[in-house]
Structure 1
Amino acid sequence: MSWHAQIPKAAQKYLQHNRLDEVECVIADLPGIARGKAVPAGKWEKQTHFHLPNSIFFQTITGDWGEAAGPDGFLEPDMVLKPDLSTVTAAPWANDGTLQVIHDAYDQKGTPVPFAPRNVLRRVIDLYKARGWTPVIAPEMEFYLVARNVDPAKAITPMMGRTGRPAAGRQAYSMSAVDDYGPVIDDIYEFAEIQGFEIDGIAQEGGAGQLEINLRHGDPIKLADEVFFFKRLIREAALKHDCFATFMAKPIAGEPGSAMHVHHSILDADGNNIFTGPQGGETDAFFHFIGGLQEHMPSVIAVIAPYVNSYRRYVRDHAAPINLEWGRDNRTTGIRIPVSVPAARRVENRLAGMDCNPYLCIAASLACGYLGLTHEIRPDKRWHGDAYEAEDEIPQGLYAALELFDAATEMHNILGPDFARVYSIVKRAEYDEFLQVISPWEREHLLLNV
């Protein structure tokens, strides 16, 4: 069968109107950056795989390396990367006809590479499948459109809107605010349509130039792929209009941070939501899933809040939860139960930052719920009222979060022990890099005062 017949309909339609010039063969590394190769179309049609060194998973966000290669040393053996044709999508911003395709990573014996993020998520989903369960998730993506910033020493500022004024904050859900950067949003919509992605809605959030895009619920791997693609799509749309899109958890001081809220539900073998009973009531499984999030989420905060900047988002009374309480239709709780009909009953994890790797974030969140389901963990009592009055339950920084992650051996068995080893080494290398940088605050307050 021709590969053309195996790719999504949106990609087939793109090829009807564009001569294929190049194929971008990509895979997400630990930070979620697209790594890979651009291959001429004629060559790609003849190849069944390509190679990259496994060291791409040992690289920090700065481009340095963690000493995570294992006992054989830093030999950088080649991985075998095989295309998943169900992920083929256009790169509509390219000058010539270009497709993108996500690949899966295997070692040379055909075993999935355990620290490849897509494989980590698949490992967790397979645990659910072994129990006869199918996880369903829906992500919400928050991000900022900001003015171009080419000097790291300068503060990030909101983008200039069509009115000629900088985007304003505290305008949540304002249609006028959305219209102010309508040309960027128009291109986001156009690129998404060409790529075959369904946007459930776009809204202005509380920050200056901050937007939220909701995606339709579905298969966790498919949705993680879409978030991975969307980050690039949104950046490209912003660049067309002389601004940047940023997914930093806290890019602007005094403004709300950007989250990636994840909604979860679980289906049984008959396609029924296990969170809802025959009469429409809440089941034990529903409460066990919540209990798993409450008990195990601290151990994976280092995964869903992966950078030093991530912890600047967790600010009391500032649009991000700092607790593990659960509540009904309560956005101050870390775990929220949205309003829904019984068949769509779901649990929302509001703790993850948009700076996360979507594969790893979804895997970690589902892993917490899985442990709750299998160990029948009961949650605390539902929180009533403002949960910012509850105790802080989030680690105060990346180092503290990594300490909890390293001690969570049960979680390591779910996500994969080799992944846990590599992830900790790479994140600690990043933290050491951060400690070598002297901040403006230190120069201002310590230089002459201590």
Structure 2
Amino acid sequence: MPPAKKEVRPSSRGGRARTPAFVKNLRGVKNWKEAREWLEWRGIEDIECITPDQAGVARGKMMPSKKFTSNTSLALPSAVFMMTISGGYPENGNGFAYPEDDGDLKLMPDLSTLSVVPWESDPTAQVICDLVHQDGRSVEFTPRNVLKRVVAAYDKRGLKPVVAPEIEFYLVRKNPDPDYPLVPPVGRSGRPIGGGAGYSIAGVNEFDELIDDIYHFSESQGLEIDTLIHEEGAGQLEINLRHGDPIELADQVFLFKRTIREAALKHETYATFMAKPIQGQPGSAMHIHQSIIDKKTGKNVFSDPDGGESEAFGHFIGGMQKHVPNALVMFAPYVNSYRRLTQAASAPVNTKWGYDNRTVAFRVPRSDPAGRRLENRIPSSDANPYLAVAASLACGLIGMSKQIAPDAAMLTTANEDEIDLPRSLLEAVDLFEADEDLKELLGHSFAATYAAIKRAEFETFMEVISPWEREYLLLNV
């Protein structure tokens, strides 16, 4: 067999030159010169400049790729990051106030996130952006910047956090009328999907073509899936991501949600990350595995040199136990989230920890000393990944800084005891606003903005009359 030809491209001088290796990167370039060549080599026509809002929804602007690489200044109104999930806006008060001019915030593309948008018919790319004020200052209340702030707090202490998210979601039949309950989809067998299919390969195979598209779309964007399984719920799947840098992993979850929704729509199905989409079925979680690395030694600070548990590990757990209830509004951000957090269910409603115990909030998986980590099992899949990771790492860092001792490990079932967490969105907001340590670490501007949004969302929800009220109150009271 003759040797493969080296790939070449036309030279600007009329000759032929080798294709630079970086243009073949599936994800990310180093600078604007590389970005220009990367886009040209792929024939990219349009680019989406996106950033997550407080709900984790992609906001931004689309433009021709040539305009993107011509020093164009991009901006979004600051009010975009003060908007509720329903498109409304909160009232001023409790430390929150709209900027008097509602001025623009500048979008700063993070070129390390540049990738294609594989589901678009025209050649399209996407890049995740950060937000800065007009004078270049970082915007404190935007989600990606909140996570960067927490990671920077670790960096000041010579530490580097490592996380690995697990995201559960449901596939459901298309539901254009929100008054009707969601129902499981029909798989390749032609029958509606039933529950109780945890870890079933046959359950996964019901959606072979859809899952193939998820893998294809993910590979095209340079996103790495570790494993995919069928969970307990009817049409409920889980994707596990490989561990890594918190910002990179939050970016991946942000993009995975877009990817999974688009793959599902291609097959006339919805993918939903609601915490509790179907009555009587398990809720959907976003578990976060966490470990901390000493930047000088490269060692896991959760383990002593002899392989035993370190004091820092205990203090991290202690911080989680004390502060996670106060940060619950970032792990369970909507009224629907609290339907998942019920007693004697698979979701933990306690602040206990234990070894390989799935009934506790904070589980220590089996591992060798180098892989020692803590899994936060409280977040639901509807949480903004940037904010959930930021809150989880913040709680642990407070514990290490203040040397908060943990309770004894739970050796038995913990989810049948009293509920240790707020039971409603408003209660969670109250606890969040009262935790000065959390607000200091996450940023006071963010805390005030986020709390105002959640209060406004609750008031909007209270305007809706539910089927339960019509069923039991209409003719009985």
Using structure 1 for the length normalisation, give the TM-score: 0.96
Per-residue Cα deviation, 1:67-99 (whole angstroms, up to 9, x for no partner)? 359556553200011100001111100001111
SS at match of 2:415: helix
1:9 equivalenced with 2:22 (yes/no): no
Question: In the alignment, which residue of structure 2 is the partner of 1:83?
Answer: 109
Q: CA deviation at 1:18?
A: 3.9
Give the Å deviation of 1:125.
0.6
3-state SS of 1:190 partner: helix
Residue identity in the other structure for 1:195: Q
What is the match of residue 137 of structure 1?
Answer: 163
Report whether the alignment pairs 1:190 with 2:194: no
Over 3 Å counting, the alpha-carbon distance change for 1:150 and 1:311 in structure 2 is: same
Q: Output one character per residue of 1:215-245: Cα deviation in whole Å (capped at 9) or x when no partner.
A: 0000000000000000000000000111000
The aligned residue for residue 267 of structure 2 is 241
Matched, 1:303 2:319: no
Residue in structure 2 matching 1:156, options 173, 182, 195? 182
**Equivalence for 1:316:** 343
Deviations 1:11-38 (A, max 9, x none): 4898587420100000100000000011
SS of the counterpart of 1:228?
helix
Q: Is residue 418 of structure 1 aligned with residue 435 of structure 2? A: no
Q: Which residue of structure 2 aligns with residue 365 of structure 1?
A: 392
RMSD, aligned CA: 1.7
Q: Distance in 2 between matches of 1:339 and 1:425?
A: 40
> Which residue matches 1:62?
86
Does residue 171 in structure 1 map to residue 197 in structure 2?
A: yes
Map 1:13-412 → 2, pairs under 5 A: 18-47=42-71, 49-67=73-91, 73-269=99-295, 270-412=297-439
Equivalent AA in structure 1 for residue 53 of structure 2: D
What's the CA shift for 1:49?
3.7
In 1: Cα distance, 2:23 partner to 2:308 partner: 41
In the alignment, structure 1 segments of 5+ residues that lack a partner are none
1:376-395: CA deviation from partner (whole Å, max 9, x where unpaired): 11100000111123321111
* Distance in structure 2 (CA, Å) of the matches to 1:71 and 1:176: 53
Cα distance 1:236–1:371, how it changes in 2: closer, same or farther (>3 A)? same
Contact kept, 8 Å, 1:323 with 1:393, in 2: the verdict is yes
CA distance in 1 between partners of 2:353 and 2:142 (Å): 32
Percent of counterpart pairs with the same letter?
A: 51
Query: 2:14 is matched with which residue?
Result: none
Q: Indicate conservation of the 8 Å contact 2:171/2:264, yes or no.
A: yes
Quote the Cα distance in structure 2 between the aligned partners of 1:240 and 1:78. 35
Distance 1:435 1:234 in 2: 31
Shift of 1:8: 8.0
CA shift for structure 1 position 52: 0.6
> What do residues 241-271 of structure 1 show as CA deviations (whole Å, max 9, x unaligned)?
1100000000000000000000000000221
* Alpha-carbon separation, structure 2, partners of 1:5 and 1:222: 22
1:282-335 Cα shifts (integer Å, max 9, x gaps): 100111100000000011001110000000001222211111100100101010
Name the structure 1 match of 2:8. Answer: none
8 Å CA contact 1:326–1:334 kept in 2: the answer is yes
In structure 2, what is the Cα distance between the partners aligned to 1:292 and 1:5? Answer: 45
1:417-436 residue pairs with structure 2 within 5 A?
Answer: 417-436=444-463
Q: Distance in 2 between matches of 1:7 and 1:312?
A: 47
**1:48 positional shift:** 5.1
Greater Rg, structure 1 or structure 2? 2
Shift of residue 356, structure 1, vs aligned partner: 0.3
CA contact (8 A) 1:8 1:87 kept: no
The Cα shift of 1:108 comes to 0.9
Give the residue type in structure 2 aligned to 1:94. E
Distance in 2 (CA, whole Å) between partners of 1:72 and 1:366 is: 29
Deviations along 1:353-385, whole A, 9 cap, x unmatched? Answer: 000000000000000000000011110000011
| Offset, 1:182 | 1.1
Distance of aligned partners of 1:340 and 1:49 in 2 relative to their CA distance in 1, 3 Å threshold: farther
1:388 counterpart SS class = coil
Provide, for residues 104-123 of structure 1, a one-character-per-residue CA deviation record: whole Å limited to 9, x for no partner: 10011111111100000000
C-alpha separation in 1, matches of 2:142 and 2:267? 34
- Please tell me whether the aligned partners of residues 365 and 374 of structure 2 are also in contact (alpha carbons under 8 angstroms): yes
Asked whether the equivalents of residues 55 and 76 of structure 1 are also in contact (C-alpha less than 8 Å), the reply is yes
Give yes or no for contact 1:139–1:263 (8 Å, CA) kept in 2: yes
Distance 1:178 1:82, change over 3 A: same
Name structure 2 gaps, 5 residues minimum: 1-19, 29-36
User: TM-score if structure 2 supplies the norm length?
Assistant: 0.91
Distance 1:329-1:95 versus aligned 2 partners, 3 A rule? same
Is the 1:7–1:86 Cα contact (8 Å) retained in structure 2? no
- Cα distance in 1, alignment partners of residues 99 and 144 from structure 2: 24
Q: Report the 3-state secondary structure (helix = DSSP H, G, I; strand = E; otherwise coil) of the residue aligned with 1:389.
A: coil
Q: Report if aligned partners of 2:24, 2:38 keep a CA contact under 8 Å in 1.
A: no
* Aligned amino acid, residue 163 of structure 2: I
**Residue of structure 1 in register with 2:33 after alignment:** none
1: CA distance, partners of 2:105 / 2:249: 25
Instruction: Kindly state the Cα deviation for residue 6 of structure 1 after the two structures are TM-superposed.
Output: 7.1
For the 8 Å contact 2:22–2:38, the answer to whether it is kept is: no
C-alpha contact 1:321 1:388 (8 A) present in aligned 2: yes
